Each structure stands twice: as structure tokens, then as C-alpha cells.
Structure 1
Amino acid sequence: MSTLSLPVRLAFGIGQLAEAVKNQGFNVFLLFFYNQVLGVSASLTGLALAMALVVDAISDPLVGSYSDKLRTRYGRRHPLMALAAVPMALCFYLLFNPPEGLTDIAYFCWLLLFAVAVRLSLTFYHIPHLALGAELAEGYQERSALYAASTFFGFLGGALFVPLSYRLFFPTTETFNPGLLNADAYAAWSLFSAIIIVSAIWICAAGTLSQLPRLLAKSYAPAPSVSPKQVIREFSAAFSNRSFKAIFFGMMLSTFILAVESIFNPFMGFHFWGMTTEQLSIIPLVQLGGLFASLVVLEP
């Protein structure tokens, strides 16, 4: 029997919406905005995003170690989660609202700065969020159900966020076809996205706060310090495992394919197929319908 109430499980799952909005913003809108709207070369834009990704890879284990060692009256996860909300939302908004009239290099610097800031602030939320799930759940079944709720909200939110954005903020007009070329629309859209990010994170933090007495009552072994040598040894040990390598490279390949598909979808849809934003918004909804249909057809 689950020890977690439905509101707690829903709150934990809703927290995944913050990452879903960020992922769709980066994968679908960011490259198009800087390349097609601001006129920054795709190579410079791609370089900035790649550099931000490297910083993200380095920061993840460091933030994880810091969170493990943190001791406060509100636990070691909730403070980081709650405090990350506003910086992440603000940096996401600023990422899509650079000053006008900058040079390509200046736009590159702006993109790099705030892409790193968004990813870093997300790390301070997402890593503790993942760890919190393992600490909230009692046993394998409950842990699986809790993360399933998180995955469901993340996938559903991401699938609905793009068509909703297309139709509400980037409609096709005589002046802007496709609607994503409307530079003025990104201010309202990024504000809308920032509100979702803050709301999702704070709902998750507040909705799981009732479990704090139980979490504080648990005793945790002191977290070891993370050193570069230790990280290298652990990576080496992990990659010596054949099963891990199969999962790792399989996930890397699937993530790469999904990211490329998301990034090039607006470019191909608008410039090759000649679709409008309204037509392009149908595709994620059809994919979502196909997913639910597969659950019925492939029911064990």
C-alpha cells in the first residue's frame, strides 16, 4: 500500500513540467529565434548551446554532492528546489528577450550567458527533485509509480506546450508567415513560460513539504566529497559494465534523435513543407494520440 497520498504524488509529478517547458523552449524555439528572427548564424548559436551543455554536464554531479551534504531545517532537497524557481524563470525570460541591435558576437555572448544560467538553475532544482523522489517512496513499486507520474506530466506537458504556444502566441498572419518570425510575440510567450516554470516548481516543493518530518527523521550517512579523481574512477567503473554501456549509448542515441527532430521540425515544417504554425501544431497532438492508442493496443 502506498504511503504517499494522491496530492503528494501529483505535486511531485507536476514538478516535471518545469523541465518540460525548458526542454521544449530550447529544442523547438531557441535555435529558430536566434537564427531566423535575430539573424545570428546557426554555427554561433549551436556553439553557444553546446558550451552550455558542457557546463551542465559538469555541474550535475557537483550540485548532487552539495545537495546530499546540505542540512537545513527544511531538509536537503526542498530549499534548493524552491530557491531555483525564480532564477530559472527569470533567466529563461531574458534568454528570449535580448537587447535590440546587438552584433552577432554580442548575441552569442547573451545566448551563452543565459543558456548556462537556465541550465544551471534547472540543475539546482532537477537534481534534488530526482533525489527527493527516491527518498519519498518506500519500496520499488511506489518509487516506480512516483517516477511514472513525473514522466507522465513531463511528456504530456511538453506535448501540449508546443501546440498551445503556436496557437496562442504565434498565429499565422499576413505579416508573419510563419508566426514564429514575429519577434514581438516572444516577450509574452517567454513570460507565459516563466510563469509555468515558477508555478510547477513551487507546487512541487509546497505539495511535498508535508513529508518533511518523515524525511528529517531518516538518518543519512555523511555524503562523501566529490573529487575529479573520484569522478573519473566512477565513470571508468560504470563504463566497464556492458549493461550500463548498452543503456547509456541507447539513451544517448534516442535523445540525440529526438533533439534533432524537435530542433529541425519548425525549419522543415515552415521552409520545406510550407506549413503554418496552426498546421504544425497538430503534429504533437497526433503523436500524443498515437501514444495513448498504443497503450490500449499493446495492453499486456
Structure 2
Amino acid sequence: MDKRKQRNERIVARQGGFAWGMAYVPAIKATREEGPRGSRLSQIWSTALGRYIHLLSRAERTFAHLALYNPYLFDLHEQRMLSPFTTVHPLHGHPRALGMSLPNLLGTVDILRDGHPVYYRRDDGESSYPVPDLFVGDLLLFLQYPDSRPYCVNWNIKGDKGDFSEQRRSDLKSLESQRKHQLKAVRRQQTEREYYAAAGIRTLELSPEYIDLNVRQNLNFLHKWQGHPFDPEAAIAGDFDAEVQEAVSAGTRISEIVVRYASKWGTRDQFLGRIFQSIWYRKLQVDLFRPLLIDRPFSPQTRDVLIEYRDIYAEVSL
């Protein structure tokens, strides 16, 4: 079977219906068989969504952590197909969107018309004919803040902001090839923006340099602890949490508290995990714009990540 046909049929089979939460299957999985050649593939577990998130680059992983850190995110669709033909809004049929009037998505064929990329398909006993190729997006966020309606935000992600203006930017190429790759890149970004804009969904073009380096590193580290088990009973956990909070407020190290509790009621990793989970779930608020070092005092939060980067979560530009 033709590889392009096989790829597209697999994508349509996975994404032709409606699926949210644990039932969602990305158009492209982060596996050696499906991932783009040379890409940095990763699968990260989300306790909140109950499934692995499939990511095709380090930049996608950075922004997946940022998306999952927001407690008002109720779903995340990575590697979501852009339908070639007009289709319903991503929230259509979701229980949270009952009663909402949701505009349709505009198909990529309607946007690009004669300029839409195609591949040629040949069925048994038939001559070949053109079929629209499929585009795949990066991260589609589903958000709902208190006392507000649910909405989506689309994140289009590249490793460097310059990659939005030219495909294969690091390749050696002629001026003519460079011009073609620049036109393709601009057309590709515009297509995705128009596709989602028809349904009232905002698209942002994002790259890691937009996010503070310490924030990126801290969220990557904290996410790994999100599901770490904690066995001690609730009373011990409550006392431990209170002491850690006091230490953060007083500007003293938490390492001594961890050692003391671990020597009596568990292991060091259990109590470290308790701290890092509390930070990830925003119960213990520390400054994520500074390094998190267990042998140094944690700084109380003065800048909230969700406030500093609130524009990229917003339904409309702030």
C-alpha cells in the first residue's frame, strides 16, 4: 500500500469521530514507526487526562507541560488532524458545551482551493486520482475558567520562531529554494490560522524562547513527579505540608524537614514527591522563575506562571 495513502487512512480512522479524555487518539503517535525522521519523540503521562500525550519535538513537550500546568485545562488534543472539508467545532458534542452555538471549522480545501497539496491514489482496477493531503496541528487546548463557558485555543509550535517563516531553514539551499520554502511556510501557518478562526478559535505561533528558561526546566522536572505515590497517613501528610509551607515563607531550607520525616515515616523520595506534587498542583506556591534546588530555600511566589503567560491561554488576545 502507498505510504501516503496508508498514513492518511490511519489518521482518518483515528480522528474521524469524536473523542475526549482517555479515548482521544492522536493522528500521529510518538513512535519510531510514525514520528517524523530525526524528531525528538516523547510520550508524557497526564494523570489528569488519564493517558499518554504524544509529542514530536522538545518544543512541543515544553508547551505540553505549560498546558497541563493550567488547572482549568480539561482536555488537550495533540497531533490533531485539520479536516480537508468543512466540519463541526472541536467542542461539538462535549457535555460541557451543551446548548452552545458553535460555528464550524472551514476545511483546508476551502481555504487553499487549487493550491491544496494532493497525493495520487490508485484503487484496484482504477486510474489514479488526486486526494487532498492531510495537515496535522500541534496542541489544541480545551479550557474552562470558573463561571465561564468552555473554549479552545490552538498552539502552533516550532523549535525557533524563525521556523514559522521558512521551512527547512537550516538546510543549504539556493535562493529560489529558499523563496519557495518561505512561501510554503507562510501559507502553512495562514491555513491553520484560517481553519480555526472560522470557528472562532484563536491560533498562536509559539516557540520555546517565549517561555523563561527556569519555568521550562521547572515544569519539565515537576511534571515527572505528578503521580508519585505517597503512603504515610493523612495526619502526617498534613503536618509535613504545614512545615514545608512555613519553611518557604520563612526562607529556610526544606531538605532538613524531608530528612526528618523520611527517617520516621517513609522514604526521601516519598516526601520529595509530596513537595513537588504540591507545587505542580499549585497547593504550594513558589517562584518558578528561579531554579528549584532542594538544598536551597525555595522563594515564595512573586510571579505566577499562569498570570505571566495568561495571553497564550486566553480565548481572545489580551
**Quick one: higher RCO (CA 8 Å, sep 6+), 1 or 2?**
1
Is the TM-score greater than 0.5?
A: no
Q: TM-score range by the shorter chain?
A: under 0.3
Is the helix fraction higher in 1 or 2? 1
Work out which of the two has the higher radius of gyration on C-alpha atoms and give 1 or 2: 2
